[in-house]
Amino acid sequence: MALKKGMLKDSVGKALKDEKKAVSDRFEMAETILTGGAALKPEAKPERGKIHRDGFTLPEAEYSVIKETQIRLAHKGNIIANKSEVVRLALRQLTLLTDEELVDQFQEMEKLPSGRPRKDE
């Protein structure tokens, strides 16, 4: 008895789907047994808001603080942080300042020209 091409494809697809489900069920059962009845479920990732990309101009001294902070985190906390994470950490610390402290810090900061520097030809 010859099977039509579509029937064979459907039959194989169903068999693969059933086998995948059976394997998944076996792994779930094994995990339940190994964990003493408490099946491990992946933790739901917290939903984060929209991510923005931006560019900044920093004096060399302030830019080097990013690298120094990365080194401190690596040595003291065994943490590998990228530049963005260090800047985000600093922004979190700004929220801890009082309004007066924030204004004082801003007034002490060196003012820089905004925008990209001109390319000299």
Integer angstrom CA distances of residue 23 from 16, 17, 32, 42 = 11, 10, 14, 18
pLDDT value of position 31: 76
Q: DSSP letter string over 10-52?
A: HHHHHHHHHHHHHHHHHHHHHHHHHTTT----PPPPPP-----
pLDDT value of position 40: 54
Look up the pTM and report it: 0.55
Task: Tell me which of 3-7, 11-15, 88-92, 111-115 is least confident.
Answer: 3-7
